[in-house]
Amino acid sequence: MEELIAKAREVINNAYAPYSNFKVAAVVKTKSGKVYTGVNIENASYGLTVCAERVAVFKAVSEGDRDIDTVVVYTDTDEPTPPCGACRQVIAEFNPNALIVMAGRKKTVTAKLSELLPSAFTKERLR
């Protein structure tokens, strides 16, 4: 897990956060073992901002790699920050039981996505 957190620390300065000054980096590891990174990308029209987690998930999916295993969320804060609700829903689309690793400078917390998003809206609900 440490190598995934280290990868997130590597890319956090690529975040574009001129409005909030709150940089976030994410790393997605798929069941194939491939790793995809993402950072938050803000926009003057705040609604168009994209979270780091979604960037990393979308990179994996756009490469044809949909079997998400682990998502690391790193913030340069003492306490870890969990994924927002929208990111939780996007991750649930590809694995409602994904391991979520939330890391800050001083603390790391892990949880299953199903713990962070119980009763997720998934494709099974469409039947």
The answer to the question of whether 12 is labelled as a binding residue is no
Apex 14 CA angle, 97 and 79, nearest 5: 55
The answer to the question of whether 36 is labelled as a binding residue is no
The answer to the question of whether 25 is labelled as a binding residue is no
The answer to the question of whether 62 is labelled as a binding residue is no
The whole-angstrom separation of Cα 94 and Cα 62 is 13
Task: Name the residue among 113, 39, 105 with its Cα closest to residue 82.
Answer: 113
The answer to the question of whether 45 is labelled as a binding residue is yes
Of 2, 10, 53, 124, the catalytic one is 53
Task: Name the residue among 46, 114, 100 with its Cα closest to residue 69.
Answer: 100
The answer to the question of whether 40 is labelled as a binding residue is yes
Residue bearing tokens 């870890």 = 80
Question: Does residue 53 have an active-site annotation?
Answer: yes
The answer to the question of whether 44 is labelled as a binding residue is yes
The whole-angstrom separation of Cα 37 and Cα 8 is 7
Annotated binding site for Zn(2+): 51, 84, 87
Annotated binding site: 40-46, 51, 84, 87
Task: Name the residues annotated as catalytic.
Answer: 53
